[in-house]
Amino acid sequence: MKIGLTAGADPKARHAALLDARAAALAARRAGEEETVETAAYLVCACGPERYGLPLAAVAGVAPERPCTGLPGAPPALKGITAVAGAIVSVLDLASCLGLDTKGEDEAGHVVRLRAQEPPVALAVDRVLGIARIDAALARPTAKPESLGRGPLSGYAPPGSDRTGDIREGFSLVDLPALLARFMT
């Protein structure tokens, strides 16, 4: 109904017309809003030229890398043990765990302590780049994880998929249980 001379004569009709116009304006405003999208948070780390995302819910903290005490007979990916935030943790080199070449890397990077691991575990990375929030659909494991070529990788976040805009490069998503299963037996 139009709000005009005819509606102005009848107060009930004018009231109904005002309510209709208000409802239409609210509906139009709602149509222009962006949909709420469920996101998943990842701590994005660099290992050489590669970028990897660790589920933020599994991260207890990040600290500068410190010297490790080597363990005799340990696999090459186990750098050793060190103290992180007052606890002795086993330090795994993420690049070695993923089969990447780690030769020539003398600079100390970061250690990412993982939450709820027994024994306590930290991952050594070249550096922590930041936190990315990606669409939760990208974070769901693929039906065929072996299709990515490496068991501990569960997916890929393409460049520009970080909703915060802080991480511009794409990164591979690390499946921590699959990664740690090889070393925690």
Per residue in 108-151, pLDDT (tens digit) is 799 999 997 788 999 999 999 999 999 888 877 655 545 545 47
Sign of CA dihedral 13, 17, 18, 23: positive
Average pLDDT of the segment spanning 72-98: 90
pLDDT of residue 123: 95
pLDDT of residue 160: 86
Half-sphere exposure of 173 (CA within 13 A, CB side): 27
- AA identity, residue 179: L
pLDDT of residue 10: 82
Residues 6+ apart with CB under 8 A from 150: 98, 99
pLDDT of residue 93: 94
- How many angstroms separate the most distant Cα atoms in the chain? 95
Per residue in 98-108, pLDDT (tens digit) is 888 765 556 77
Query: Residue ranges per domain, the chain?
Result: 1-33, 39-181
pTM for the structure as a whole: 0.74
Residue 1 has pLDDT above 50, yes or no: no
CA distance 95 to 48: 8
Superfamily of segment(s) 39-181: CheA-289, Domain 4 (2.40.50.180)
